[in-house]
Structure 1
Amino acid sequence: MKFPKTSILPLCCCLFTLTASAQLISDSMEIENHYRSFHFNRPENTRKNKSLIFVLHGSGRNGKQMMAGAAKLDKLSSSENLIVVYPDGYKRYWNECRKAATTPPNLENINEEAFFEAMIQYFKKRYRINTKNVFVVGTSGGGHMAYKLAMTLPEKIKAITAIVASLPDPSNFDCLEKKVAKPVMIVNGTADPLNRWEGGEIILGNGVNMGLIRSTESSFQYWSALAGYTAEPVKTALPDIDPKDGKMIERYQFKAKGKPEVILLKVIGGKHDYPGDIDVHVEAWSFFKRQ
């Protein structure tokens, strides 16, 4: 579908001092008559060519609610030359690729690509980011939004990580995918009651039906096949650092010269949450910077 011309208008820039060295900035822009907001900590250094990481919240939440979970990643910003950004979905949801979704952004066909392109330009102008190093890590509904950006905006997004999120079933898919192979890491749990390992229908706690999703293995296979892998992935058991959490992680990795890296972190016993053995956002950055 064609979208009307995007109007970008900075609305409000609010600064909040968190510590002596960290300053939270909340800003907004107008995208096609809708104000879209985002949050980030002001960079502590003026170095050029910063990498940009979008951290995306799940359905019904907002960007600021992701900051605690990604705190360890944000603490790496200065040493790793990063800017970590926490965008807000439209009315707390994203217009991702699940056709059956009855959320406001899906019903109103909100132009998410325009929002993310505008944010990239915002950070390029103000903080001189390296636009070739733009990454996305999303949880649950944010993982679905990460998938969408890799599919519909691959020229702007270098790599993604999707956490507790599987691709929509083909019958529940309404994005115009460009079918460009990208580095992708998926982190899913085998005991997730919402994003079930074997796939199926997703109904949120408020009764919102998001339609069918593929299995985790089918989602992994989609990206590995797109990257041209045909053999079996390399399997590695990660150290069980937190045995009390009742979870273990197996890594399935496709990696070859000249091809995007594709990884599945299988969280055995994992539910719709983060595993204790790794910090998923720091792990995402470790994956991103290899690309």
Structure 2
Amino acid sequence: MRNNRMIKVMFLFFLTLLGFSSVRAEVISDSVLIEGHYRSFHYNNVPAASVNRSGLIFVLHGSGGDGKRLMKAAAKMEQQANAENMLVIYPDGYKRYWNECRKASPAEANVENVNEQAFFEGMIQYFAKRCKINRNHVFAVGTSGGGHMAYKLALTMPRTFRAITAIIANLPDTTNLDCTPSGKAVPVMIVNGTLDKTNPYEGGVVVLGKNMTMGAVRSTDRTLAYWAELARYKGRPTQENLPDTDPADGKTIERYTYKEKGKPEIVLLKVIGGKHDYPNDIDVHVEALRFFMRQVID
């Protein structure tokens, strides 16, 4: 009888643990109505999700992707972000693409000129009501097409976004730019590979798949210079070689930094030998989080 009681207690305890685990692992999907379109986003339901949050981090997928599929890649960053009381959000592009700043993009999001600024403002208001977030601590990190979307947020909503990180993405060339920049500098980190054929490090036409042309982009050096000049930096950035923690991947990373008191921090992580992918030597999303947190501290 006693053994049966112990088994029952252990079974109930096991179910309780499962219940807590399911709460932690539950992905919440919701949407906001923006100019006739329900725009969706996802986030992990974590303990204390309803209490005050120090800020939001939007993680933006590449062209043809979706928010949920990016959750695994950003898992380590999200774990550390939770420790900093930051809530991580994974939005979906309109029909899997963003209306970013590339004039030549044939994506429906661009052709229909969907209102991305209203979408992000709608999400911020959504979480401000539920989590009482600090609206001065809103960030975005994006990969490829998501990097282009992050650039757009920095160009057009600099008072909303404290800082952004763009991964494997260069700014559109001036002939391919259809955003109106605010002219206000914000902290920006860029992570680009020198052997990237999709987002050419030296600039050129971006081709997705076989025939989808997104128009020309600037070189990485010109992209870095744009943000540095906007922040009124002169001279050359400081250079640092990061540890080559995975020699087998054939990549090394150089960090170039503009940082002065009273000016936005501008950083380039130059991935020598990097292609249109993530380097193994660092977790790019964790690096983005560290960059964002420096802006909060500074």
Question: Normalised by the size of structure 2, how large is the TM-score?
Answer: 0.90
Structure number with the higher helix fraction is: 2
Residues 159-170 of structure 1: pairs in structure 2 closer than 5 A? 159-170=163-174
* 2:94 match: 90
* 1:58 match: 62
* 1:78 match: 82
Checking the alignment, whether the CA contact within 8 Å between 1:103 and 1:208 is kept in structure 2 is no
Give the alignment partner of residue 39 of structure 2, picking from 32, 36, 39: 36
Deviation at 1:29, TM superposition (A): 1.5
Give the alignment partner of residue 30 of structure 2, picking from 24, 27, 30: 27
* 1:120 match: 124
Checking the alignment, whether the CA contact within 8 Å between 1:22 and 1:44 is kept in structure 2 is no
Residues 20, 115 of structure 1: alpha-carbon distance in 2 compared, 3 angstrom cutoff: closer
Alignment: residue pair count: 276
Checking the alignment, whether the CA contact within 8 Å between 2:53 and 2:87 is kept in structure 1 is no
Q: State the Cα deviation string for residues 173-222 of structure 1 (Å, max 9, x = none).
A: 00011011000000000000100110000111052110000000000000
Checking the alignment, whether the CA contact within 8 Å between 1:44 and 1:78 is kept in structure 2 is no
Residues 159-238 of structure 1: pairs in structure 2 closer than 5 A? 159-238=163-242
* 1:137 match: 141
Residues 267, 18 of structure 1: alpha-carbon distance in 2 compared, 3 angstrom cutoff: farther
Structure number with the higher strand fraction is: 1
| 1:116 aligned counterpart, secondary structure | helix
Deviation at 1:263, TM superposition (A): 0.2
Q: State the Cα deviation string for residues 120-150 of structure 1 (Å, max 9, x = none).
A: 0001100111110000000000000000000
Residues in 2 aligned to 1:20 and 1:146: alpha-carbon distance in whole angstroms: 30
Q: Structure 1 segments of 4 or more deviating over 6 A?
A: none
Residues in 2 aligned to 1:224 and 1:132: alpha-carbon distance in whole angstroms: 22
Q: State the Cα deviation string for residues 9-36 of structure 1 (Å, max 9, x = none).
A: xxxxxxxx97452321000111000110
Q: How many percent of aligned residue pairs carry the same amino acid? A: 60
Residues in 2 aligned to 1:195 and 1:170: alpha-carbon distance in whole angstroms: 16
Checking the alignment, whether the CA contact within 8 Å between 1:159 and 1:184 is kept in structure 2 is yes
| 2:253 aligned counterpart, secondary structure | strand
| 1:76 aligned counterpart, secondary structure | helix
Deviation at 1:247, TM superposition (A): 0.3
Checking the alignment, whether the CA contact within 8 Å between 1:43 and 1:77 is kept in structure 2 is no
Unaligned runs of 5+ in 1: 1-16
CA RMSD of aligned residues (A): 1.4
Larger Rg: 2
